[in-house]
Amino acid sequence: MSVTDEKILVLDFGSQYAQLIARRVREQNVYAAIVRHDIPAERVQEIAPRGLIFSGGPASVHWNDSPRCDPDLFQLNLPILGICYGMQLVCQSLGGKVESQRGREYGPALCRIREPNELFEGLPNEFQVWMSHGDQVTAISEEFTVLASTDSCPLAAVKHRRRPIYGLQFHPEVTHTSYGSQILANFVKRVCGCQGTWKLTDFAEETIAEIRQRVGSNRVICGLSGGVDSSVTAALLSRAVGDQTACILVDNGLMRRGEIESVIEEFSKHFKTDLHVVRAEDRFLAALAGVTDPQEKRKIIGRIFIDCFAEEAAKIPRARFLAQGTLYPDVIESGGLRDGPAATIKLHHNVGGLPQDLQFELIEPLRNLFKDEVRQLGLQLGLPEEIVWRHPFPGPGLAVRCLGAVTKERLEILRQADAIVVEEIKKAGWYRKTAQAFAVLLPVQTVGVMGDARTYEEVIAVRAVDTEDFMTADWSRLPYDLLGRIATRIINEVPGINRVVYDISSKPPATIEWE
């Protein structure tokens, strides 16, 4: 965080959307870092942020073990913005009253500004906000004033009369709040006084310098998949330590069609990387035989990946460091960012699967970035757009899109269907309009009729989503004729498939991947 004097700290009280707050702040060219909710005031002073944001969270301030902040933070005279649980904690800590409501309020509400303030500068008097809470502030001390209300929440926004302390019962970080980004921008720039001086080029320069100093004369190994995350990681390493970088590509038999060949072409000829390819398809498929539980699939794939990786790495002299393209959402969703109150959503083999006795020191240069920031960084580093804009692919590969048993035959069916989805979406000009599009092979068979004969074959589900951050997502409204072409081609060209369905679930409550 030394690249700029303008920093905002997001204190995480267990919210699954704390990273969205940080991302919205970074959109203002102000660096934001997520830290533990109980960070000591002394440490905050050392970091010297321009302001603090208290996130929401699933707890109640009335619980004995609810997460609390260091009370000395309120004495630092730093601007503070409390969101949902964060607001409740701020108000309770400073003399207010928080009560549990009869029912949880979840969804849109109309917010009305009662008192003009710099936090709401440039906003209309009424705008839609997104609520998600069970408790709410029902009384504030005389030191506070009410800024805005909704029909169900009279104290929807408050401010301390003398200090730059604010509270919002609604969530400005989600896109469902109409002017949420503007509210956060007002807090960061008008209240905290930030000018917006942080840029990804600064991040790249600092990261390259840190890698160079840490690696020294040793070699660093990069686990390469060909996706944007590992590719940007490899590019950063190349800039930092040049030919001290060795990339290992594990061919697990779970990649998309033509992907292994494409990666080899790009990183052995174009980038002239020291690329080691481990052919291990049979090894992975043997271990996955008969396994249908998705978390067990991830664990098996992660374990074998590490085994294959370690065996190949042992052949590389002076290899001391392992670099991975772990992103902020990966760390947070895997529960690895902190020992805090947030729940684990899923396991990633590049985060949760690493053994305790790993013989390498871990380097994760993208650990504090979001997907859109990684893409921007990739373009700045000179990576081709084909790599930078490639749709995300899960660490366990097609194994978590092949529901049920994972076999070579079923993977080939899925691989063909997935290629058709991508081809047709690209042809129609929708690839860059969607954030992620792919096929899923379902473990069910349905009745069909082909050539006047009855068939009983498997089902392909097509999934395409729109998202800015991959933490929330909505299903893509693909044109009917495009969906029709995809379905027709899959049924006609992919043996064993007689039905295609389209997934119209949003995240939440669903996830983007099916497993």
Write down the number of H helices and E strands in the chain.
Answer: 14, 18
Binding residues for ATP: 225-231
CB burial string 323-349: b at 16+ within 10 A, e below:
bbbbbbbbbbbbbbbbebbbeeebbbb
Domains 7-191 and 401-502 share a fold: no
Residue 87, helix vs strand vs coil: helix
Q: Are strands 474-475 and 453-466 parallel, antiparallel or unpaired?
A: antiparallel
- Most confident among 115-124, 199-208, 315-324, 453-462 (mean pLDDT): 115-124
When the candidates are 3.90.1580.10, 3.30.950.10, 3.65.10.10, 3.40.50.880, the CATH number that belongs to 7-191 is 3.40.50.880
Q: pLDDT tens, 416-472?
A: 999 999 999 999 999 999 999 999 999 998 988 776 677 889 999 999 999 877 778
Supply the pLDDT for residue 200: 82
The pLDDT mean for the chain works out to 87
- Specify the pTM: 0.68
Residue 420, helix vs strand vs coil: helix
The domain limits of the chain are: 7-191, 200-388, 401-502
Query: Would you please indicate which residues are annotated as catalytic (active-site) residues?
Result: 84, 171, 173
Fold of 401-502: GMP Synthetase; Chain A, domain 3 (3.30.300)
Taking the C-alpha atoms of residue 305 and residue 322, their distance in angstroms, rounded to an integer, is 13
Q: Are strands 319-323 and 219-223 parallel, antiparallel or unpaired?
A: parallel
Q: pLDDT tens, 336-388?
A: 334 344 433 333 434 334 444 557 888 899 987 888 889 889 898 888 887 88
Neighbour count for residue 142 (Cβ, 10 Å): 7
When the candidates are 3.30.2000.10, 3.30.910.20, 3.50.50.60, 3.40.50.620, the CATH number that belongs to 200-388 is 3.40.50.620
Taking the C-alpha atoms of residue 10 and residue 22, their distance in angstroms, rounded to an integer, is 7
Calculate what percentage of the chain has a pLDDT beyond 90: 56
| Measured CA distances, 218 to 240, 272, 437 (Å) | 12, 20, 40
